[in-house]
Amino acid sequence: MRNIRNITVNRAIIHIIDNSMEEPILNQRDLYLTDETLDFIGKHIAKASSDEEAKYAKFNGSNNIENICRSAIYDEDKFIESSNEIAKAFFNLSKSCGLIPSGDLLIVKFESEYGKMLAIMKMIYNKTFIHSIDYENEKMVIDIKTQYIGLPDTMQRLQKCALINFEDDNGELLVVNRPTKQEKDAKNLNTFTDEMLKCTLIDDKRDFTKNFVKSSEKWVRENLKEDAGKAEEVRREIGEALRNEDFIDIKEIATGILGNDEMAENYIDTLKEEGLKAEKIEIDKEWVDKKLKRKKLKIDKDMEIYINSDAYNDINRFQIKRNGDGTIDIIIRQIRNYFEKQ
């Protein structure tokens, strides 16, 4: 359900979840779906489905919230009633735990290339500024005022969102659970998944690929910080494997780059400690193409280079020369023009 592209919104409804009140303000009719509203909803769904923080999940067996979500998708006559039940559950959780700020709850029934789906999006309020017009002593005065009920615009990432699909009968979710400040302070980061949705997060090939890249870089920084030449070799070999292979054999790539010695074993052990226990992992080629398209090189403490992958791998334009003493020279060739960015 990642990167949803074909979104057709069928119905949508919004409820107010204000923690200062005694109960939620529940809507009794669908939203009017104007072109602007459809654009707003569709962009938020698409953005959530491609969010870097989005993770797959499964419901923890048959539970009430799962049944309500299923009813919201498939029982046309109970969409509003089901959305009210979801809003009540969310309000009770927000009110009792105090970790999720006030906001609106937008619930959307839509269709995509993955079938019929439901989106539950918590629209946490933004502070916005508006002008106000008044009269003082028969003179018009215009001031700037703050208001605290602005919804996230389509350029912003949602903090709490679930995209739900029952095409395989068991139910599958794609969840964005970006911790709020309150959750971080309370060290309780899974309120939304554990208590509201009652689901268990599942790692997929994107999670494994991201973890492999992150853990490999962590190992290089800790173990090859005094040998820039070897560090560059390891990073380049890992990058080539990610681009050219569908699966990564962790032991094979460790021994191929580092040899059959303690360093290779240490690298393998580090990846296991970071959660990569399988001997082979499937590579998410779409994520790799996006993430490895551009490199940011932090050089010592006082230089940075941004370079795309084509230039990085073109020996006629960019070259790294190993000096044999742990240092490297970076050579940029055939420069036709350059300018200073302010």
28 and 122 share one domain: yes
The reply to whether 323 falls in a domain is yes
Query: Which two three-digit tokens encode residue 113?
Result: 């290339």
Whether the Cβ atoms of residue 78 and residue 71 lie closer than 8 Å to each other: yes
Mean pLDDT by 10 residues, the chain (342 residues): 93 92 92 94 94 92 86 94 94 84 93 96 83 86 79 84 88 91 81 90 92 93 89 90 92 87 89 88 91 86 87 88 88 86 74
Q: What pLDDT was estimated at residue 68?
A: 94
Residues 6+ apart with CB under 8 A from 21: none
Q: What pLDDT was estimated at residue 290?
A: 86
Domain endpoint, select from 144, 179, 202: 202
66 and 195 share one domain: yes
- Locate tokens 């490199």: which residue? 295
Determine the Cα–Cα distance for residues 200 and 113; give it in Å rounded to an integer: 24
The reply to whether 328 falls in a domain is yes
Determine the Cα–Cα distance for residues 88 and 82; give it in Å rounded to an integer: 10
The reply to whether 338 falls in a domain is no
Q: What pLDDT was estimated at residue 323?
A: 87
The answer to whether the pTM exceeds 0.85 is no
188 and 273 share one domain: no
CA atoms within 13 A of residue 75's CA, in its CB half-sphere: 13
241 and 217 share one domain: yes
Say how many domains are in the chain: 2
139 and 260 share one domain: no
Report the first-to-last Cα separation within the chain, whole angstroms: 41
Could you count the other beta carbons within 10 Å of the beta carbon of residue 329? 11
170 and 299 share one domain: no
- Locate tokens 């009140």: which residue? 21
The reply to whether 337 falls in a domain is no
The reply to whether 342 falls in a domain is no
Whether the Cβ atoms of residue 312 and residue 318 lie closer than 8 Å to each other: yes
193 and 96 share one domain: yes
Q: What pLDDT was estimated at residue 62?
A: 67
Q: What pLDDT was estimated at residue 13?
A: 97
Please give the DSSP secondary-structure letter assigned to residue 312: H
* Residue 327 phi, psi (nearest 5): -105, 165
103 and 226 share one domain: no
Print the domain residue range for 75: 8-202
3-class DSSP assignment, residue 65: helix
Domain endpoint, select from 147, 169, 202: 202
191 and 224 share one domain: no
288 and 225 share one domain: yes
